[in-house]
């Protein structure tokens, strides 16, 4: 449909103009922050948007634009970034970039032996550049220096640019305005970045009112890539993102470097980690399969019951059965955790009075897994019930009539007519549910946090940990700080596994569609 | 269209180069934010520098500080606990704290908790530690030894009410609360080397004393007199319903205890009979909290001025500590501490500052797992032994 009205045309171009302006503004900000990855994404996104709106051939695709934009920004970009991080050694101690770390080292000053103190007065010139007058109170010597030219120049009071009053006090410098009053606090952030060379030492701001002498502790040589400790003379080479001396001592912090496939290698080569990975992987598959199959069975069973027009009060049943689905998972998961508490939970109270025994629900590995599957089924069956109810409506009654005429019993009708036709529409949803359960971090974390612990585990992998919660524990609860590079590698593996399973699943459902044909 | 675009671009570029007023940014949690905002207003009135206090839940403070600082958007000042020190310093995120000759005004143990590599990184304001809080309606006098405690537990135990003599958080992951049991007979986390510095390869979580203490704990569980699966919510519920006579907890539970109407008394954890037949005082972890300055801050001078001249005063330090139920570490503020908080100091004398070296993360992880296994009935020596081995691997010893 062509927008022929002139007002519509103007509105379209104005909105495009505003979006382009915002994109350029954001782009400038990204260039200043040197974030080129996001800049590339932004350029592609804005460019694509312009093509969509302005090109006649691409115009019909405009309804896809928001969805594609979000897909790109919130799915594709994080995946690419995670893949990038998995090839680096990002972890506690190697969090910053090389430039940031070198800057940190070069900004480390130690108080000079026999530290001298100078008071100061600050002035601003017409270009808002700082000029500092340094006064040695003991000897009354004065120097003048500036932000642009840090060399100290001795003040010659007879020079006409210095305005001296009748008491001999220096009241001003011509062409410069003194920084006084509250404005002094505003320039502190600029003053503290200055370091004026003073012989072998440096003069730096120390406190609100003084400059003191400091010595620089480190010097970095960009050509040889070596960091030298000026006080001890030790030379450090960057190895794997950490500055290491010949005798093995290291400096912290380190920085993030490219390590290639090392994270993946350690995942697959470390025997104990492989064992943990295998156990967690098997449990994740079992967990997802059981959750989907059981909740689907329960949901479908209830849907078949509710589909019977002869049942009364159907609406009330349906409303009550939806409740687990609409309650926020955070609340219901925590309530279930309290109910299954071995000592004080209500489930054990009931068991005690009915059967005389209690079970350590969340403390025994097998029981904990069973409880988790039970809770997930409780949370998911309303969804399965709803989609089954919907899909059941799409099966024409004539097929049932024909089957009944042919002498098929209830079970036969279900197995041969209902289920295959349901699968056509529901199979993609079931695969989606499987993928959701595969990555259902929330439920595992809230109810058991991956515990109970397993004797003999090399990484933080408990009995109920699924791949994603295991990744989280490696990343943030690992033994030697946050190992984000390793966790990213595990995330990429999980992504590969789920992508493969989903691809296979979709292939299989395509074959199911042959039933109709 | 082109002209419109050009105009919009020009307008936006001007905005980008706008002059910024100096602002001091502070990350704090909900307990301390109101007080810091008030003092921030005083600071702004005196210096013309705006103070922006950003509030986070305590558990999110550390990760938010790290992420924001790494991205260049971090605060100038942050509040934190001393066990964060290892991670923050190894990432180069903290500026050494210059207390400008006022070192003696701060408690020495608190200062050393925030010192690593001989450099002080924080201005401490409060300490906390576990101790025994008892309900005088049920337990009229403070128990003298652990045998008295066991007697009270057996006398009070009634699973139907329910009523317990003693409770403390003992779900998996509560190694912090489990430590007093291990430490009484000689367990420790990291030993010290000749220089008095923590030696992360000298690990004492599985030595004879630790196994003894853990066995005692497991026996109490098996006898049923000590409730199992007590997490934070359960402990609060027990306290609120007066279903427990004594709790081993920190000052953070005091509000709940007062609200429940306990006539409470505070004493140190009674000594436990050790392997050698002697009674030993259980040791607890002490936690210290402080103000820290970010090394990426562009207003370091202002930050230090704010901390030293506006925060480090008697009234402010006393209020910051007491409002969070901590004992002040600013010595001039100590005399004004309320009596019940001061009672925590009895146990604090037997306190061990939580080591803040990065290896500590593995201790919490593996220690928590060991507690989990012990709760499930695993043999104490193997559970603690596994923790010992895994901590050694995580620390990287031989």
Q: Which of A28, A193, A253 lies at the smallest CB-CB distance from B92?
A: A253
What CATH code is carried by the domain that includes residue A78? Answer: 1.20.58
Domain shared by A404 and A481, yes or no? yes
Domain count, chain A: 3
Which of these, B216, B193, B372, B366, lies nearest to B279 by C-alpha position? B216
Interfacial A residues in 270-329 facing B (CB < 8 Å): none
Please give, rounded to a whole number of angstroms, the shortest distance from the CA of A311 to a CA of chain B. Answer: 43
Q: Is B339 on the interface with A (CB under 8 A)?
A: no
Q: Hey, which residues 381-400 in chain A have their CB within 8 Å of chain B?
A: none
Tell me, yes or no, whether A432 lies in a domain. yes
Say if A261 falls within a structural domain. Answer: no
Decide if A478 and B365 are in contact by the 8 Å CB cutoff: yes
Nearest to A453 among B4, B172, B391 (CB): B172
Residue A254 lies in a domain: no
Chain B residue whose CA is closest to A340: B229
Domain assignment present for A174: yes
Same domain? A371 vs A495:
yes
Is there a domain that residue A185 lies in?
yes
Considering CB atoms only, which of A20, A92, A343 is closest to B91?
A92
Give the chain B residue nearest A186 (alpha carbons). B22
Q: How far apart are CA A15 and CA A53, in angstroms?
A: 10
Q: Are residues A330 and A466 in the same domain?
A: yes
Per-residue confidence (pLDDT) for residue B398, from 0 to 100: 61
Q: Which helix (H) or strand (E) holds A255?
A: none
| Closest Cα in chain B, distance from residue A287 (Å) | 22
Are A172 and A43 contained in the same domain?
Answer: no
Distance of CA B84 to the CA centre of its chain: 10
Work out the mean pLDDT of chain B and round it to a whole number.
87
Is there a single domain that holds both residue A202 and residue A312? no
Please tell me whether residues A134 and A29 are part of one structural domain.
no
- CB–CB contact B361 A480 (8 Å): yes
Which B residues 23-82 touch A at CB under 8 Å? 47-49, 63, 66, 70, 72
Question: By the CB < 8 Å criterion, does A99 face chain B?
Answer: no
Domain shared by A116 and A46, yes or no: no
Q: What is the nearest CA distance from A149 to chain B, expressed in angstroms? A: 22
Q: Is residue A239 part of a domain?
A: no
Give the per-residue pLDDT at B327. 87
B161 in contact with A at a CB cutoff of 8 Å? no
Which residue out of A189, A227, A487 would a mutagenesis test of the B interface target, given it has the greatest number of B Cβ atoms within 10 Å? A189
Question: Do residue A376 and residue A272 come from a single domain?
Answer: yes
CA–CA min distance B172, chain A (Å): 8
State how far the Cα of B396 lies from the Cα of A250, in Å rounded to an integer.
Answer: 15
A residues 447-476 closer than 8 Å to B (CB): 449, 451-453, 455-458, 460, 462, 476
> Of the candidates A152, A187, A216, which is a domain's last residue?
A216
Q: For residue B18, what pLDDT is reported?
A: 40
Q: Residues A159, A280: one domain? A: no
pLDDT tens digit sequence for B7-31: 555 555 544 444 457 899 999 998 8
CA distance A243 to chain B (A): 13
- How far apart CA B97 and CA B77 sit, in angstroms, is 11
Q: How far apart are CA B321 and CA B310, in angstroms?
A: 15
For B115-165, how does the pLDDT look when each residue is reduced to its tens digit (9 = 90+)?
Answer: 888 889 999 999 989 999 999 999 999 999 999 999 999 999 988 888 999
Q: Which of B68, B90, B95, B171 to mutate to test the interface with A (most CBs of A within 10 A)?
A: B90
Establish if B221 touches chain A: CB-CB under 8 angstroms.
no
Query: Domain with A270 in it: what CATH number?
Result: 1.10.3720.10
Cβ distance of B228 and A342 shorter than 8 Å: yes
- Among the partner residues B47, B90, B396, nearest to A252 by beta-carbon distance: B90
- pLDDT of the residue at B356: 74
SS3 A260: coil
Tell me, what's the pLDDT at A345?
87
Domain boundary at A52, A86, A120, which?
A: A86
The domain containing residue A120 runs over which residues? 109-216
What's the CA gap between A111 and B100, in Å, rounded?
Answer: 13
Give the per-residue pLDDT at A517: 52
Measured between CB atoms, does A27 come within 8 Å of chain B?
A: no
pLDDT at position B258 over 50: yes
B9 chain-A contacts, CB cut-off 8 A: 21, 24-25
DSSP state of A249: -
Task: Please give, rounded to a whole number of angstroms, the shortest distance from the CA of A438 to a CA of chain B.
Answer: 24
ipTM comes to 0.75
Average pLDDT over residues B85-112: 87
Which structural domains are found in chain B, ordered by start? 19-128+286-353 (3.40.190.10), 129-285+355-395 (3.40.190.10)
CATH number at residue A118: 2.40.430.10
Q: Is there a single domain that holds both residue A398 and residue A294?
A: yes
B358/A contact by beta carbon, under 8 A: yes
For chain A, list residues with pLDDT below 70. Answer: 1-4, 478-480, 512-517
DSSP letters of A176-245? -EE--TTHHHHTHHHHTT--EEETTEEEEE-SSSEEEEEEE-EEEETTTTEEEETTT--EEEEETTEEEE
Location of structure tokens 């503004």: A25
Residues of B in contact with A101 (CB under 8 A): 92
Q: What is the pLDDT of residues A353-411, one digit of tens each?
A: 899 888 888 888 899 999 999 999 999 999 999 999 999 988 888 888 888 888 888 88
User: Are A394 and A472 contained in the same domain?
Assistant: yes
Region B369-374 average pLDDT: 88
**A74 secondary structure, DSSP code:** I
Asked if B383 lies within 8 A of A455 by C-beta distance, the reply is yes
User: By C-alpha distance, which of A388, A189, A413 is closest to A307?
Assistant: A388
* Beta-ladder partners of B54: B27
Give pairs for A274-281: CB < 8 Å, separation 24+.
A275/A458, A276/A457, A276/A458, A276/A459, A276/A461, A276/A470, A279/A454, A279/A461, A280/A461, A280/A465, A280/A466, A280/A467, A280/A470, A281/A467, A281/A497
Domain boundary (A181, A196, A216) is at A216
The reported pLDDT for the residue numbered B16 is 43
Residue of chain A whose alpha carbon sits nearest to that of B13: A25
A474 and A490 Cβ atoms separated by less than 8 Å: yes
3-state SS string for chain B: CHHHHHHHHHHHHHHHCCCCCCEEEEEECCCCHHHHHHHHHHHHHHHCCEEEEEECCHHHHHHHHHHHHHCCCCCCEEEEEHHHHHHHHHCCCEECCCCCCCHHHECHHHHHHCEECCEECEEEEEEEECEEEEECCCCCCCCCCHHHHHHHHHHHCECCCCEEEEECCCCCCCHHHHHHHHHHCCCCCEEECCCCCEEEEEECCCCHHHHHHHHHHHHHHHHCCCCCCCCHHHHHHHHHCCCEEEEEECHHHHHHHHHCCCCEEEECCCCEECCCCCEECCCEEEEEEEEEEECCCCCHHHHHHHHHHHHCCHHHHHHHHHHCCCEECEHHHHHHCCHHHHCHHHHHCCEEECCCCCCHHHHHHHHHHHHHHHHCCCCHHHHHHHHHHHHHHHHCCC
Say whether both A458 and A358 belong to one domain: yes
Q: Is residue A230 part of a domain?
A: no
pLDDT of residue B2: 59
Q: Is A54 on the interface with B (CB under 8 A)?
A: no
Contact B234 A452 (CB under 8 A): no
């Amino acid at each position: 449909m062509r927008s022929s009205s002139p007002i519509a045309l103007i509105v379209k171009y104005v909105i495009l103009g505003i979006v382009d302006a915002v994109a350029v503004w954001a782009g400038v900000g990204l260039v200043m922050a040197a974030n080129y990855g996001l800049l590339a994404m932004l350029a592609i996104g804005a460019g694509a948007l312009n093509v969509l709106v302005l090109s006649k051939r691409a115009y019909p695709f405009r309804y896809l634009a928001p969805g594609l934009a979000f897909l790109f920004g919130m799915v594709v970009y994080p995946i690419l970034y995670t893949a990038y991080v998995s090839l680096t050694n990002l972890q506690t101690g190697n969090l910053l970039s090389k430039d940031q770390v070198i800057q940190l080292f070069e900004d480390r000053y130690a108080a000079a032996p026999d530290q001298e103190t100078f008071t100061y007065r600050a002035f601003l010139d017409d270009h808002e550049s700082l000029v500092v007058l340094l006064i040695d109170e003991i000897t009354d010597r004065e120097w003048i220096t500036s932000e642009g030219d840090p060399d100290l120049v001795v003040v010659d009071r007879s020079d006409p640019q210095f305005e001296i009053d009748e008491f001999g006090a220096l009241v001003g410098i011509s062409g410069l305005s003194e920084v006084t009053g509250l404005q002094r606090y505003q320039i502190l952030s600029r003053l503290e970045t200055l370091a004026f060379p003073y012989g072998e030492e440096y003069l730096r701001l120390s406190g609100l009112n003084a400059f003191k002498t400091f010595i620089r502790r480190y010097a970095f040589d960009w050509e040889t890539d070596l960091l030298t400790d000026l006080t001890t003379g030790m030379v450090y080479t960057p190895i794997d993102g950490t500055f290491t001396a010949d005798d093995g001592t290291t400096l912290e912090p380190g920085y993030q470097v490219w390590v290639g496939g090392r994270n993946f290698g350690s995942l697959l080569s470390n025997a104990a980690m492989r064992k943990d990975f295998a156990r967690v992987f098997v449990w994740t598959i079992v967990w997802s399969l059981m959750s989907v199959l059981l909740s689907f069975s329960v949901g479908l069973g209830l849907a078949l019951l509710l589909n019977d027009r002869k049942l009364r009060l159907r609406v009330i049943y349906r409303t009550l059965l939806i409740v687990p689905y609409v309650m926020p998972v955070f609340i219901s998961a925590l309530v279930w955790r309290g109910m299954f508490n071995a000592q004080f939970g209500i489930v054990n109270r009931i068991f005690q009075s009915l059967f005389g025994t209690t079970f350590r629900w969340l403390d025994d590995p097998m029981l904990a897994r069973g409880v988790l599957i039970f809770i997930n089924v409780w949370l998911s069956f309303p969804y399965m019930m709803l989609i089954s109810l919907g899909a059941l409506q799409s099966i024409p009654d004539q097929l049932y009539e024909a089957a009944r005429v042919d002498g098929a019993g209830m079970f036969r009708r279900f197995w041969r007519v209902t289920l295959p036709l349901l699968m056509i529409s529901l199979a993609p949803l079931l695969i989606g549910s499987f993928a959701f359960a595969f990555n259902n971090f929330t439920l595992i974390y809230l109810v058991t946090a991956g515990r109970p612990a397993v004797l003999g585990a090399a990484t933080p992998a408990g009995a109920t940990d699924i791949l994603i919660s295991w990744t989280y524990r490696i990343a943030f609860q690992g033994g030697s700080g946050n190992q984000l590079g390793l966790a990213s590698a595990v995330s990429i593996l999980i992504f590969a596994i789920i992508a493969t399973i989903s691809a296979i699943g979709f292939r299989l459902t395509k074959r199911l569609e042959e039933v109709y044909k | 269209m082109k002209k419109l675009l050009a105009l919009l671009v020009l307008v936006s570029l001007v905005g980008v180069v706008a002059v910024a007023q100096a602002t001091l940014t502070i990350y704090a949690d909900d307990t301390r934010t109101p007080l810091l905002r008030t003092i921030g207003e005083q600071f702004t009135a005196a210096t013309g520098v705006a103070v922006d206090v950003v509030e986070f839940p305590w558990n999110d403070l550390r990760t938010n500080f790290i992420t924001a600082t790494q991205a260049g958007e971090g605060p100038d000042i942050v509040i934190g606990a001393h066990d964060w020190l290892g991670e923050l310093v190894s990432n180069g995120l903290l500026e050494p704290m210059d207390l400008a000759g006022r070192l003696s005004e701060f408690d020495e143990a608190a200062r050393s908790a925030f010192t690593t590599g001989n450099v002080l990184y924080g201005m401490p304001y409060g300490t906390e530690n576990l101790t025994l809080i008892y309900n005088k309606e049920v337990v009229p006098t403070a128990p003298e030894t652990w045998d008295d405690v066991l007697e009270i537990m057996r006398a009070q135990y009634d699973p139907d009410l329910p009523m317990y003599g003693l409770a403390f958080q003992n779900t998996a992951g509560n190694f912090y609360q489990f430590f007093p049991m291990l430490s009484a007979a000689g367990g420790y986390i990291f030993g010290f080397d000749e220089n008095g510095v923590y030696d992360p390869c000298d690990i004492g979580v599985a030595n004879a004393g630790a196994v003894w203490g853990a066995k005692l704990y497991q026996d109490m569980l098996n006898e049923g007199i000590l409730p199992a699966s007590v997490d934070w919510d359960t402990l609060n519920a027990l306290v609120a319903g007066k279903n427990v006579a004594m709790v081993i907890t920190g000052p953070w539970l005091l509000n709940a205890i007062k609200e429940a109407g306990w006539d409470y008394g505070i004493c140190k954890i009674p000594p436990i009979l050790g392997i050698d037949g002697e009674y030993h005082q259980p040791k607890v972890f002490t936690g210290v909290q402080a103000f820290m300055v970010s090394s990426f801050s562009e207003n370091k001078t202002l930050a230090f001025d704010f901390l030293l001249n506006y925060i480090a005063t008697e009234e402010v330090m006393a209020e910051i500590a007491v409002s969070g139920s901590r004992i002040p570490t600013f010595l001039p503020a100590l005399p004004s501490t309320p009596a019940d908080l001061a009672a925590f100091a009895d146990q604090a004398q037997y306190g061990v500052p939580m080591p803040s070296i990065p290896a500590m993360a593995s201790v919490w992880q593996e220690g928590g797992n060991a507690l989990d296994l012990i709760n499930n009935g695993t043999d104490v020596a193997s559970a603690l032994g596994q923790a010992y081995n895994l901590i050694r691997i995580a620390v990287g010893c031989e």
